[in-house]
Structure formats: C-alpha cells, structure tokens
Amino acid sequence: MQRFSNEPKVYDVGGVKLGGQPGDYPTVCCFSIFQESDKVFDKGSRRKGFNEGRAEELLKTADKLWKETGVPVMADIVASPGEKFKKYVDFVTSISDMPFCVDAIMMPAKLEGAAYCAEQGLLDRMFYNSITVWEEDLLTEVKELAQIGVKHVLLVAFDQNDQTPNGRITGAQKLLDAIEKAGAEFETIIVDTTTLNAPANALCGLSNQLIKEKWGFATASAPSNGSYMELQRFKDMFGFKGWAGFDAAMEALSAFYYNDLIFTGPMAGAPRVVPAVALADAFLATSVFSETKELPKDPNHPLGKLFPEFAEQLKVAWDKPSDLEKM
C-alpha cells in the first residue's frame, strides 16, 4: 500500500479518529437508518412513525459490534422532510453515543437537520451529508453551514464529463472553490468519490489515493450503493446468502482500498458487514507492517482486537527486527 509523502490529515468526529496513513486507524462504517425502506418501519405504517424497539435493537447491535471488533460505526440518519430530523436525532442520541450524519436529498432538509443539531449541542459528533457538485446554489448552502457552525462536512466529488479518477479531482476542486469563495472553514473535510456500480468502486479507491496525496483529506465512498443495486439480480442468481457474500466482499475490498469511511447500507446489515471490514482492516494493517514495521496507531484496531497473539508477534518483531525472519 502507498504511504503518502504528504502526511494525511487525521480528524476527530465525536471521538472517532479517521484519516491518516493506510493502516493507522480502522475504517469507519456508516450505516443508514430511517431511510424509505428501513426495517424500523412496519409495512405500510411509515406515516405512523417507526418501531422504536426495532430501531433500538439495531443501534445497540451496531454498538456491540464496534466494541467487539474495533471497527467504529456511525449512523447515517436519513429524513425528509427536515422536521423529522428532530425526532430521529433525539432517538439515536438517546440510545447511543455513536457519531452520526444528517442526510437528505434536498438542501433545505439537510440544513434544517444541521441547525437542529447545533441547537442541541451535537455538532462535535455530527457530520453534514453532504455538499455535492449537483447542488445549484452551492454558495448559499456553504454560507448557511458556516452560520450554523457545522464543523464536519462530506463533499461528494464527481464530474459528469470525466468519470475517471481525475474527474473526481475536478469535482472536489469545484467544491473547495465554493467553500473558499464563501469564506467558510470546516474542521473536517471528508471527500466521497461517488460509487457508480460495484466494479467501478475501484475507481473510487484510485480517486481517493489521488485526493489523499494532493490534499490529505479523509476519503470515503458508498460501496453499498454498488451491492444493493444488484440485490434482486444476484438474489435471483445466487440466493440471499450469495448476495450477502457479495455485499460483505464489496465493503471489505473498499475498506482495504484507500477509504477512511464507507457508507455500508442499512444498519440491519451490520452483523454481516462489520466483521468483514474488521478482517480487511487487519489484513491492511499487516500489509502495512510488512513494508514499514509500523503497527496501527489506534490501540483498539481490529488487528489487536481480533488477533491479539499475532499482533503481539508483530510487535516483538518490530522491537527486534532480527526476529522478523523467524516468523
């Protein structure tokens, strides 16, 4: 794995560190909750509200997986209209201390969610999802975010005329120019390089590599978009278990390939996804160690959490380089 000559930035969102060199910190899994087809809604009863018992179980399961594996989890809180953010944010923060993002298609709804988080003193653990190249009034959005006091933002970088990794650089630059023009400053900038389909997520990894080298920002993608768009087709071909394996592989491959954060689909999939990402992180950390003799900076990294004896062997080899040849 490439070690970047310009030291990548390390951010702290709600106590979770992300960014840095490959292998330094585990990949953050951001799971959606309250989206249109979420399991927290009983069939045909979305307007009546959500099943609180089911939502609590999802959040507690995700927290448990985080504790067991060392893979941090965040909640991607999806709401429309924006007024629903109040109820959803209140619920999530009453159950879990995990960081979260506010996510909506339309700018007014996202801004309403961000403003409510500011009122509740939650901006340290919330990131804004997202500032996109498709927004027609970028300056207004960025200025509003600055006035609200938002600290952490996700930029979605893309160029319709150039869908190569270089096009993602162009898209990111457009967003950075808007931020500069608005006179805004954010503590954390995460760049999402737009997943188009499953194999094309490799282009996200390559794009992220360029972004980290050029600016040092934390990077992200949404591999779940690539796997869930194939849900019905692959279920028909391989059954649900076959598709589930495909999904877990998508998340793990992305975790290995220059993503500091990945959007991992509905939170109901956490028991399938988090262990896969944990293994990918351990795999990556071991690969990095073979090149640098450096272990992860996070003491709760999956390498040490799930494979403590092996991690200790690597540490001994690090302390006594001559022992490495004996392993």
pLDDT tens track, the chain, 327 positions: 678 998 999 999 999 999 999 999 999 999 999 998 898 998 756 667 899 999 999 999 999 999 999 999 999 999 989 999 999 999 999 999 999 999 999 999 999 999 999 999 999 999 999 999 999 999 999 999 999 999 999 999 999 889 899 999 999 999 999 999 999 999 999 999 999 999 999 999 999 999 999 999 999 999 999 999 999 999 999 999 999 999 999 999 999 999 999 999 999 999 999 999 999 999 999 999 999 999 999 999 999 999 999 999 998 876 665 555 555
**pLDDT at residue 45, rounded to an integer:** 61
- Residue 131 pairs in a beta bridge with 155
What gap in Å lies between CA 13 and CA 185, rounded to an integer?
A: 16
**Cβ distance 80 to 110 under 8 Å?**
no
- For tokens 């278990």, what's the residue? 241
Q: Which residues contact 17 (CB under 8 A, 6 or more apart)?
A: 10, 11, 25, 298
**pLDDT at residue 325, rounded to an integer:** 53
CATH number 3.10.129.10 given to 10-326: no
What gap in Å lies between CA 72 and CA 28, rounded to an integer?
A: 5
**pLDDT at residue 87, rounded to an integer:** 96
Cis amide linkage into residue 108, ω under 30° from 0: no
pTM of the model: 0.95
**pLDDT at residue 36, rounded to an integer:** 85
**pLDDT at residue 299, rounded to an integer:** 95
**pLDDT at residue 17, rounded to an integer:** 98
What gap in Å lies between CA 234 and CA 212, rounded to an integer?
A: 34
**pLDDT at residue 49, rounded to an integer:** 87
| Residue 199 structure tokens | 């194999």
**pLDDT at residue 194, rounded to an integer:** 94
